[in-house]
């Protein structure tokens, strides 16, 4: 069965899928409501269970969205191939009676979020000297390298329930292992405060994030994977010789696709249950790699940086690295600035 047909088959049993994978949620009208893709109790995740958009879901807290194949992949921490197998297994189970859903084509389905993400990134400008750089500086981060994965858009649309607002935004490019942009992450900013904009969801993603990340540095045999963008930038500032991946959420951290060359991965998830679940999912998916946790003292390493300063945080992290990695990444000379020091293209 082709992927599209499999997704349509899951959509026709959307209520049964939700009851199986999100049992702590509840039905409300045409939606199944839950806390997140892992089934945590709450009201952030909305899954459409009837109508022509059955099977589509959106997490209002993170801006993530997808179909039921994506949901199963994130919920179970599976690779895409394993998620297809899981979906086929589910469809072989007895399902609750549900009227058939006809998935029709509609003009909104023609919208290409990946193309839109690439257009927005191309329309943005380098981060140097912008509000985005000042915002990162207010979080204790000084960009000592050229981060080409980051850009700034002075007038980025923000859609809410009543219409559209315009705010400046920090734009981060999400890329696959070949360096192709598959999505972007937007952080809307307030020019008056140099902080996040006063909107309900100041951070939102666009495009295909599942399995991909914001890349800082050329991947080799050792790297760091961070849950959030600011954590990743903190680590890149403290250890500029270490490649860093920003997964942008706990769910996406657990679903990262790793290159064959990568043999050891340090994981800097947030110090909370969702972060530890993401670490365990990632490690269980890649049992052939050496995957180790980096644990912050507070909620995350950016909070550590703001509270304790760079040197104590650098020393705390260095103590968590394997002894053979310390000379390579902590004690070696700092790299010089380069057009391709980070992001896309050769280093």
Question: What are 264-314's pLDDT values in tens digits?
Answer: 999 998 888 888 988 998 999 999 999 999 999 999 999 999 999 999 999
Per-residue model confidence (pLDDT) at position 264: 96
As given in the structure block, the two tokens for residue 156 are 């980025």
| Intervals of CATH 3.90.580.10 along the chain | 3-110
Fold adopted by 3-110: DNA Primase; Chain A (3.90.580)
Q: Label residue 105 by pLDDT band (50, 70, 90).
A: very low
Whether 145 shows a pLDDT value over 80: the answer reads no
* pLDDT tens per residue, range 312-322: 999 999 999 99
The region of weakest confidence among 11-25, 91-105, 139-153, 278-292 is 91-105
Residue 214, strand partner residues: 246
> Would you tell me how many other CB atoms lie within 10 Å of the CB of residue 286?
16
Judge whether 34 and 40 are in contact, CB under 8 Å.
Answer: yes
CA dihedral of 139, 140, 145, 146, whole degrees rounded to 10: 20
The H or E element containing residue 155 is strand 150-159
Class of domain 210-331: alpha beta
CA distances to 2, 22, 302 from 19, rounded to whole Å, are: 24, 6, 37
Measured distance CA(74)–CA(67) in Å, rounded: 11
Per-residue model confidence (pLDDT) at position 331: 63
Average pLDDT, the chain: 84
Judge whether 241 and 283 are in contact, CB under 8 Å.
Answer: no
| Intervals of CATH 3.40.1360.10 along the chain | 210-331
Helix axes 3-11, 80-91, angle to 10 degrees: 50
The 3-state DSSP class for residue 110 equals helix
Percent of the chain with pLDDT over 70: 88
Whether 151 shows a pLDDT value over 50: the answer reads yes
The region of weakest confidence among 34-43, 186-195, 271-280, 317-326 is 34-43
Per-residue model confidence (pLDDT) at position 93: 52
φ, ψ for residue 327 (rounded to 5)? -60, -35
Q: Is 172 exposed, middle or buried (0-12, 13-18, 19+ CB in 10 A)?
A: buried
Per-residue model confidence (pLDDT) at position 336: 44
Q: Average the pLDDT over 92-101 and give the result.
A: 46
Judge whether 38 and 274 are in contact, CB under 8 Å.
Answer: yes
Whole-structure pTM value: 0.68
Q: Average the pLDDT over 112-136 and give the result.
A: 90
> Would you tell me how many other CB atoms lie within 10 Å of the CB of residue 182?
20
Judge whether 194 and 131 are in contact, CB under 8 Å.
Answer: yes
Per-residue model confidence (pLDDT) at position 104: 42
Whether 201 shows a pLDDT value over 80: the answer reads yes
């Amino acid at each position: 069965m082709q992927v599209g047909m499999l997704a349509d088959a899951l959509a026709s049993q959307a209520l049964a899928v939700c009851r199986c994978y999100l049992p702590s949620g509840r039905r409300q009208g045409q939606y199944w409501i839950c806390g997140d893709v892992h089934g945590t109790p709450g009201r952030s995740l909305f899954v459409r269970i009837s109508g022509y958009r059955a099977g589509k879901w959106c997490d209002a807290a993170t801006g993530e969205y997808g179909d039921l194949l994506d949901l199963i992949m994130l919920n179970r921490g599976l690779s895409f191939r394993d998620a297809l197998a899981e979906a086929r297994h589910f469809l072989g189970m007895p399902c609750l009676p549900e009227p058939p859903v006809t998935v029709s084509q509609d003009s909104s389905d023609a919208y290409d979020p990946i193309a839109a993400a690439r257009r927005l990134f191309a329309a943005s400008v380098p981060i140097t000297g912008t509000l985005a750089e000042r915002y990162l500086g207010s979080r204790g981060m000084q960009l000592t390298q050229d981060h080409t994965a980051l850009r700034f858009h002075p007038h980025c649309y923000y859609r809410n329930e009543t219409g559209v607002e315009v705010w400046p935004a920090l734009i981060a490019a999400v890329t696959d292992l070949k360096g192709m942009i598959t999505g972007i992450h937007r952080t809307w900013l307030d020019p008056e405060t140099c902080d996040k904009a006063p909107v309900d969801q100041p951070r939102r993603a666009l495009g295909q994030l599942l399995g991909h990340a914001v890349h800082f540095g050329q991947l080799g045999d050792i790297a760091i994977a961070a849950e959030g963008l600011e954590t990743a930038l903190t680590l890149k500032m403290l250890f500029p010789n270490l490649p860093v991946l920003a997964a942008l959420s706990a769910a996406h951290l657990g679903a990262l696709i790793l290159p064959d060359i990568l043999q050891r991965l340090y994981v800097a998830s947030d110090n909370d249950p969702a972060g530890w679940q993401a670490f365990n999912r990632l490690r269980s998916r890649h049992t052939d790699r050496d995957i180790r946790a980096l644990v912050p003292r507070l909620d995350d390493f950016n909070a550590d940086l703001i509270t304790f300063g760079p040197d104590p945080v650098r020393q705390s992290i260095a103590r968590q690295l394997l002894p053979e990695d310390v000379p390579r990444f902590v004690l070696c000379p700092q790299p010089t600035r380069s057009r391709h020091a980070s992001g896309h293209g050769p280093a």
